[in-house]
Amino acid sequence: MNERITISFIFLLLIAGCTADLNQGSNSASRVSAKMVNTKSEASDPYFVLVKLTATLNDETLGALKAAGAGSVTPVFTSVAGKEALEHKFGLDRWYKVGISENDVDKLALSLSLVEEVSAIEYDNKATKASDCIVYPYDGNPLPSTDTKSTATTFNDPYLTDQWNFNNQGNASIATTAYKGADINIKDVWGSLTTGDPSIIVAVVDEGVKYNHPDLQGNMWINSKEYNGKEGVDDDENGYIDDIYGYNFVSDGAITFSKSGDSGHGTHCAGVISAVNNNNVGISSVAGGSGSNDGVRIMSCQVFDGNSGGDSYTIAKAVKYAADMGASIISCSFGYKGGAYLSDGSYSSANGVEIDAIHYFEATKNNDVVDGGIAIFAAGNDGDPYATYPGAMSDIISVSAFGPDYLPTYYTNYGPGCNIVAPGGEAYLAPWTTRKALILSTVPYELYKDNYGYMQGTSMACPHVSGITALGLSYAKKLGKTFTVKKFKELVVTSANDFDTHMVGTKEYYNNAEPALQLKNYMKKMGTGSIDTWLLMMKIEGVPCLLASTGGKQWLDISPYFGTSSVNLTYTGIEMTDAAKAAIGLSEDPYIQYGRLYINPTKIGSAKLTIHAIGGGTQLGGEDNIGGMAISQEVSIIVRSFKSTNGGWL
Amino acid sequence: MKKISIIALLALTLMLSGCTKTTKKDLYSQIIGEWELVGYSTKSVTVGDQKVSVSVSFSSYQTTNAFVMYQTVGDSYIKQYSGTWDLTDNVLSGKYSDGTAWGNTYSVSISDDGNTLIMETTVGTAELYTYKRVE
């Protein structure tokens, strides 16, 4: 990577040196290098660059761009009435797609870098889907149910018994090492709390979603103005024609899902989030409702189309669309090649158009519960000891994958930047006589002559967390609760079960199809642990006060706040006011050791304190490094003269 | 005279013995039912600025005294506990179903109308808890 940057820089300097009207000395060269925020790759579009201006385009600047060799100059983003201030705040009104005229794109970029009003020039970057995109069509033999307790709380979808990700009974025919309970702990949530809410919209930023799939159609988001409008007309005047279920940002037209080069990836992810539940058809999904048209809605923001797409220009436009059209969550099962970026700063500076759009999305309120959008990404499938970007950004939830054996999958990325782990499915687990160890979901019939199929990847883990987050928003809405988006993300990331105690020994594959995993390598590197839907709902209801007693130093279990992985998290500090300390008679500061809160109260009363920790990894992500998400939990403590160790009041 | 005194003493002893037995039995039988922790005049207790709601139901069947308790401590979801209880010499003790003993034992009394249960901790600093019978 460094070698490539050096070569490109030398190349630029050479061009600068050879071109008479660009030969303005070393200051120019440094200015050029500062404005060229990334390097061209083989996948970069050879016909345009993305340019950020210092101010909104005017005639004078347009003239300067044309003089520098620009062919076409068009805004990257479509402005939406009423959102101008937010667009300006994140610089979206200053991004332009500048096409070549006669020169090649390198020369154009170089010339543009000398235009005063240009602040950044980006080559279009290419992301890839976080899955091998191999689909095994459904085998049509659903497993018999072995969970006698769940009959009252689950749905009538016939393939639900093949979805170990929702209710893992440890069935050895799935994997001889299948682990009972290695799932997302959702069935009681479905049974008693919520199954979704149609006002919560999840944008699947991916291949096009098969919006007329029999198990998805009922939960597709519908743009009613376009649905009821005229074909070929931009009825809602949002800049996109006939965007009924979303939009194809690659072709700038209708959503597609079954071209040559398509895999059904977007349709599969959508099915995990919100295939229609309890409709006697196919599969169940995380937040697909109860069969009463009450599931969360899927918006298809297509950024991969056949063998095209996946570039930062397309992704940025899709993310802004999601924000403008009402999505609360973007579910993004893609990322850049592992190791392409190893700090938040290096990613952000090289992908300004994309991160500006993500920040715009995160600042857009589209529901009654949180004050912004939630971005969820796959951690990546390179088996690298760090997450890929954009998911690795410290304000984005990045999801790693586990298999039905409750162990890391062979492909999952782990380590810094990975925030939480969810079912991703896995091939080559013995006995490997079926494909049921992967994730079963919806696929386009046109590609596989079947409506359902198995896939694996952090691509599949990501929509589990997206769906659970959508379910959490649905439940919070039902309870009338509100949160900041930061707080809600913290609730999601800390609704996790211990994963590290399983990181012992090796994990073997059928016929050694993959090298054995040394599980100790994953210790403390799988984020905060495995996501637990029930825990999230309980945290949304509210976390109970910790009960302490007077009369000596004691430790308090903080897992209700930080999940059962709390013992293995990295804590960065405790805040407690003097008044709070006085309220329970603390003469020494509380502290965390071995994941427990140590405290010595001498007075009956109550107090609050805030514990800061890192959600995934041992260091926070930042400008110069890749790392975890900052998470803070306000902890309430009630002190009496006695306590019961299990938290009971008596 | 002596004979009369002995008879009177015997009668008194029997009466007292009967009274004691009746009192204990009453407390036992009276404690059975559903109780709600009340903080002074409200349905919940406040410790510092944290609200506590506790509803506990005592029952007795054959030789087993069982309880089920629902508690909300602070701004949280309801947590359920269950276990067994015992009353000896007006002192109520118990064990949760996970084997954990109650954090304290309580000296208990019930109001004349049978609707108020007073529980005072017997170990350490005395703390008084008042419960109202749930109709």
Q: Is A504 a member of any domain?
A: no
Entry field: residues in chain B? 135
Give me the DSSP letters along A105-125: HHHHHHHHTT-TTEEEEEPPP
CA distance A553 to A578: 19
Residue A140 pLDDT exceeds 60:
yes
CA distance A396 to A407: 23
Task: For CA atoms A292, A295, A297, A298, give the dihedral sign.
Answer: negative
- pLDDT by residue (tens digit) across A16-71? 433 334 344 445 555 556 888 888 887 788 889 999 999 999 999 999 999 999 99
Q: Is A527 a member of any domain?
A: no
Distances (CA, A) of A282 to A162, A263, A435, A510: 10, 19, 16, 29
Locate A392 and state its tokens: 């690795």
| Of A544, A636, A650, Cβ closest to residue B102 | A650
For residue B98, the chain A residues in CB contact (below 8 A) are 646
Locate A295 and state its tokens: 């599931």
Residue A632 pLDDT exceeds 80:
yes
Residue A495 pLDDT exceeds 80:
yes
| Residue A171 and residue A52 share a domain | no
Q: Do B103 and A549 touch (CB under 8 A)?
A: yes
Say if residues A273 and A287 touch (Cβ distance below 8 Å). yes
Locate B95 and state its tokens: 């064990």
Residue A554 pLDDT exceeds 60:
yes
Q: Is A552 a member of any domain?
A: yes
**DSSP annotation of A253:** B
pLDDT (0 to 100) of residue A37: 81
Q: Is A522 a member of any domain?
A: no
| Of A542, A549, A649, Cβ closest to residue B52 | A649
Query: Tokens 């992301």 correspond to what residue?
Result: A127
Say if residues B103 and B81 touch (Cβ distance below 8 Å). no
| Residue A110 and residue A140 share a domain | no
CA distance A35 to A113: 6
H-type alpha helices, A443-557: 445-448, 458-479, 485-493, 533-541
| Of B49, B76, B121, Cβ closest to residue A544 | B76
| Residue A419 and residue A302 share a domain | yes
| Residue A107 and residue A153 share a domain | no
For residue A538, the chain B residues in CB contact (below 8 A) are 77
* A192 part of contact set with chain B, CB < 8 Å: no
Question: Residue A479 — very low, low, confident or very high, per pLDDT cuts 50/70/90?
Answer: very high
For residue A645, the chain B residues in CB contact (below 8 A) are 100, 103
A420-429, A437-446, A585-594: lowest mean pLDDT where?
A585-594
pLDDT (0 to 100) of residue A236: 96
For residue A541, the chain B residues in CB contact (below 8 A) are 76-77
Q: Which of A383-387, A497-501, A580-584 tops mean pLDDT?
A: A383-387
**What is chain B's Cα-based Rg?**
19
Side-chain half-sphere CA neighbours of A443 within 13 A: 24
- pLDDT by residue (tens digit) across A442-464? 999 999 999 999 999 999 999 99
CA distance A392 to B131: 53
pLDDT (0 to 100) of residue A27: 53
CA-based angle A321:A325:A326, to the nearest 5? 120
Mean pLDDT of A308-337: 97
- Give how far A638 is from chain B: nearest CA, Å: 7
Q: Counting Cβ atoms within 10 Å, is residue B74 exposed (0-12), middle (13-18) or buried (19+)?
A: buried
* A420 part of contact set with chain B, CB < 8 Å: no
| Residue A405 and residue A290 share a domain | yes
Amino acid at A154: T
Side-chain half-sphere CA neighbours of A531 within 13 A: 37
For residue A581, the chain B residues in CB contact (below 8 A) are none
pLDDT (0 to 100) of residue A149: 55
For residue B104, the chain A residues in CB contact (below 8 A) are 641-642, 650
A7-11, A48-52, A606-610, A612-616: lowest mean pLDDT where?
A7-11
Residue A195 pLDDT exceeds 90:
yes
Please give the backbone phi and psi of residue A551, each rounded to the nearest 5 degrees, phi first: 100, 30
Say if residues A536 and A493 touch (Cβ distance below 8 Å). no
Closest by CA to A506, choosing from A515, A517, A490, is A517
Q: Which of residues A471, A495, A519 is at a domain's end?
A: A495
* A603 part of contact set with chain B, CB < 8 Å: no
Mutation for B interface: A483, A643, A649, most B CBs within 10 A = A649
Please give the backbone phi and psi of residue A77, each rounded to the nearest 5 degrees, phi first: -105, 145
CA distance A282 to A60: 59
Closest residue in A to B82 (Cα) is: A648
Q: Is A533 a member of any domain?
A: no
CA distance A417 to A434: 33
**DSSP annotation of A428:** S
Q: Is A505 a member of any domain?
A: no
Domain tally, chain A: 3
* B105 part of contact set with chain A, CB < 8 Å: no
Q: List chain B residues with pLDDT less than 50.
A: 1, 9-10, 12-24, 40-42
Closest residue in B to A602 (Cα) is: B125
* A634 part of contact set with chain B, CB < 8 Å: no
| Residue A407 and residue A332 share a domain | yes
pLDDT (0 to 100) of residue A542: 87
| Of B69, B77, B101, Cβ closest to residue A542 | B77
| Of B49, B72, B102, Cβ closest to residue A606 | B49
H-type alpha helices, A79-184: 84-89, 105-112
pLDDT (0 to 100) of residue A29: 52
Residue A12 pLDDT exceeds 70:
no
Closest by CA to A460, choosing from A410, A423, A409, is A423
CA distance A371 to A633: 18
Residue A544 pLDDT exceeds 90:
no
Closest residue in B to A650 (Cα) is: B102
Closest residue in B to A543 (Cα) is: B76
For residue A551, the chain B residues in CB contact (below 8 A) are 124
| Residue A174 and residue A62 share a domain | no
| Of A541, A542, A641, Cβ closest to residue B127 | A641
Mean pLDDT of A574-584: 92
**DSSP annotation of A523:** T
pLDDT (0 to 100) of residue B52: 87
CA distance A312 to A319: 10
CA distance A323 to A329: 9
Distances (CA, A) of A285 to A121, A144, A185, A278: 42, 19, 13, 10
Q: Which of residues A495, A511, A533 is at a domain's end?
A: A495
CA distance A197 to A472: 10
Query: Tokens 């998290």 correspond to what residue?
Result: A569
Residue A257 pLDDT exceeds 90:
yes
For residue B38, the chain A residues in CB contact (below 8 A) are none
| Residue A480 and residue A405 share a domain | yes
- Give how far B48 is from chain A: nearest CA, Å: 5
Residue A324 pLDDT exceeds 50:
yes
Say if residues A54 and A118 touch (Cβ distance below 8 Å). yes
| Residue A252 and residue A205 share a domain | yes
| Residue A423 and residue A463 share a domain | yes
**E-assigned strand segments in A395-457:** 397-402, 420-423, 439-442, 452-455
Q: Do A644 and B100 touch (CB under 8 A)?
A: yes
* B123 part of contact set with chain A, CB < 8 Å: yes
Q: Do A545 and B74 touch (CB under 8 A)?
A: yes
CA distance B134 to A143: 48
For residue A640, the chain B residues in CB contact (below 8 A) are 47, 103, 127
**Upstream peptide bond of A198 is cis (omega within 30 degrees of 0):** no
**List of long-range contacts for A555-559, beta carbons under 8 Å, 24+ apart:** A555/A593, A555/A596, A555/A597, A555/A598, A555/A599, A556/A596, A556/A597, A556/A598, A556/A599, A556/A637, A557/A596, A558/A592, A558/A595, A558/A596, A558/A597, A558/A611, A558/A633, A558/A635, A559/A595
What percentage of chain A has pLDDT greater than the value 90? 77
| Of B56, B81, B103, Cβ closest to residue A642 | B103
Q: Which domain holds residue A445?
A: 136-183+192-495
Which tops the pLDDT comparison, A618 or B106? B106
**DSSP annotation of A565:** T
| Residue A483 and residue A564 share a domain | no
Q: Do A644 and B101 touch (CB under 8 A)?
A: yes
Terminal Cα-to-Cα distance of chain A (whole angstroms) = 63
A247-261, A633-647, B17-31: lowest mean pLDDT where?
B17-31
CATH of the domain at A586: 2.60.40.60
pLDDT (0 to 100) of residue A466: 98
Mean pLDDT of chain A: 91
pLDDT (0 to 100) of residue A201: 98
Q: Do B73 and A545 touch (CB under 8 A)?
A: yes
Q: Is A76 a member of any domain?
A: yes
Q: Is A532 a member of any domain?
A: no
pLDDT (0 to 100) of residue A153: 52
Closest by CA to A507, choosing from A591, A389, A408, A579, is A408
pLDDT (0 to 100) of residue A101: 86
Q: Which of residues A495, A528, A557 is at a domain's end?
A: A495
Query: Tokens 């403008």 correspond to what residue?
Result: A324
Question: Residue A563 — very low, low, confident or very high, per pLDDT cuts 50/70/90?
Answer: confident
Residue A370 pLDDT exceeds 50:
yes
Q: Do A650 and B48 touch (CB under 8 A)?
A: no
* B49 part of contact set with chain A, CB < 8 Å: yes
User: CA torsion angle for A408, A414, A415, A419 (degrees, to 10)?
Assistant: -90
| Residue A604 and residue A480 share a domain | no
CA distance A427 to A382: 15
CA distance A23 to A16: 6
Closest residue in A to B96 (Cα) is: A648
What percentage of chain A has pLDDT greater than the value 70? 94
Q: Do B102 and A538 touch (CB under 8 A)?
A: no
pLDDT (0 to 100) of residue A35: 87
- Give how far A454 is from chain B: nearest CA, Å: 37
Mean pLDDT of A174-201: 95
Count residue pairs from A and B with Cβ separation < 8 A: 96
| Of B48, B54, B69, Cβ closest to residue A606 | B48
